[in-house]
Chain A
Amino acid sequence: MERRDFIKSAIVVVAGAAVPMSALELMNPKDVLAANPNLKWAFLVDTTKCVGCGMCVKACKTENDIPWTANVSRTWVERYVVTKEGKVWADCPKQARDGFTSPLLDENAAGKISVDPNDIAKGFFVPKLCNQCDNPPCAQVCPVGATYKTPDGPILVDRTWCIGCGYCIQSCPYGARFFHPIYHVADKCTWCYHRLHHGMKTACVGACPFGARQIGNLRDPNDPVTLAVLDGRIGVLKSYFGTKPQAFYIGLSKEVD
């Protein structure tokens, strides 16, 4: 073989091999795994099972050290009462930390409203909490990098770094964020990140006697939550915001938003 031929062939071989090699580089398994971590938490709320006892709110406030008397909570339960004429009433006294024990609706400044039981077409309870959106507007607007999305889903707030500007509280379409009265920083539901990482369920899921709240791992194909999200008739809140909420609801009514 001439030296010239050898160099020509070598160039062809190297160039030809570079193409599949570059494809291998694209398929680096580490990158694939990073894009699909083994954990991706999702929440499932079955509103048909909720009776409005508010045990979830009580447990959440206790577990996460949220002041009991302050009018803020990481999770809350809303009551909806729809009359036969189509009038919709809704209330959430003290975020339902004491449950719903009275048929009177707490309409704040308008006072307590009494609805005739014979006029009620339907009444139900909707537990709410942070949706841990896949496109979280709260994390996007934070000017200092204090709030962020974790690889397994929940959005957290760095209490040492938050300056308390309140942009995130304004940006959340679900009203899930509030100003912590003691730490003076933005606060939000973490889906009990500390409990999840110790193999436990969230405090609200554990406290619910009726199984209205569930949390599961979407990467586990046999998880009951995954099965419900894949096959069940589920809905999400305010889908039109494009936030891709990761809390899914069974039995949503058109009055709920």
Chain B
Amino acid sequence: MSHVWRPLWVVIVLVAGVLTFRHFYVPKDFGIQEQGYMYGFHRLSNEQDWINFPISYKFSKDDSYCQQCHPGHVKSLLASPHAIIPCEDCHGPALNHPDNPPKLQIDKRRALCLRCHANLPYPGAGRNVMPGIDPLTHNPGQECVECHNPHNVMEGLQ
């Protein structure tokens, strides 16, 4: 019967090898979790991995985080129609500001303002109701902030 046993031993050793490898390679918390086999088969600790992902934006309510150090700017912003825009939309993510980074990079480019204020003639769309300009004819090449104060837009031209 050695002709049967010889290949069988090879198979047994291979299977044992795979099972041993699997035992050490697959994480202990890997398996069928709460959501069942179809949707919940995963490594449980990965949920915590994602929760630990670093946060960049504060997006605090009524800009309360920014207000602690920049009350003047926030006050003038909140008094204008731009009050609905969170500070970090233009100033970038606060991260751990003021510790890191100590200074935020402000996006003062014309392209930023045009995201809302380039007029698009769509009946029924909110975009059409907002004050809009044609970027090709309205002072092309100039930055908007050269004339308009982005914090207090009602202040008039500078």
Contact = CB atoms under 8 A, between A and B. Distances in A.
B and A form one assembly: yes
Interface of A: 34, 48-55, 58-59, 62-64, 81, 98-103, 117, 120-125, 135-136, 139-140, 142, 145-151, 155-156, 158, 160-161, 190, 193-195, 197-198, 200-201, 203, 206-207, 209-211
Q: Which 8 A-B pairs have CB atoms at the shortest separation, nearest pair first?
A: A123-B122, A206-B59, A99-B115, A148-B42, A194-B53, A117-B121, A145-B41, A53-B115
Interface in B51-80: 51-57, 59
A161 B44 CA distance: 12
Contacts of A55: 89, 115
A212 to B, nearest CB: 9
Interface residues of B, number: 44
A149 B40 contact: yes
Contacts of A211: 84
Contacts of A124: 122, 124-125
Given A59-B57, A103-B121, A206-B86, A160 B127 contact: no
Contacts of A161: 42-43, 46
Contacts of B86: 206-207, 209
A209 B85 contact: yes
A186 to B, nearest CB: 13
A201 B59 contact: yes
Contact of B127 (A52, A58, A195, A197): A52
A201 B59 CA distance: 8
Given A148-B40, A158-B43, A52 B120 contact: yes
B55 A99 contact: no
A134 B92 CA distance: 34
Contacts of A151: 34-35
A198 B84 contact: no
Contacts of B121: 103, 117, 120, 123
B30 A145 contact: yes
A123 B33 CA distance: 45
B111 A200 contact: no
Contact of A123 (B39, B116, B120): B120
B120 A99 contact: no
Given A100-B120, A151-B34, A160-B46, A59 B39 contact: no
A110 B96 CA distance: 45
Given A123-B122, A148-B41, A194-B53, A53 B116 contact: yes
Nearest to A149: B39
Given A62-B93, A145-B30, A99 B56 contact: no
Given A59-B57, A123-B120, A145-B41, A210 B84 contact: yes
A195 B55 CA distance: 7
A221 to B, nearest CB: 22
A34 B34 CA distance: 8
A102 B125 contact: no
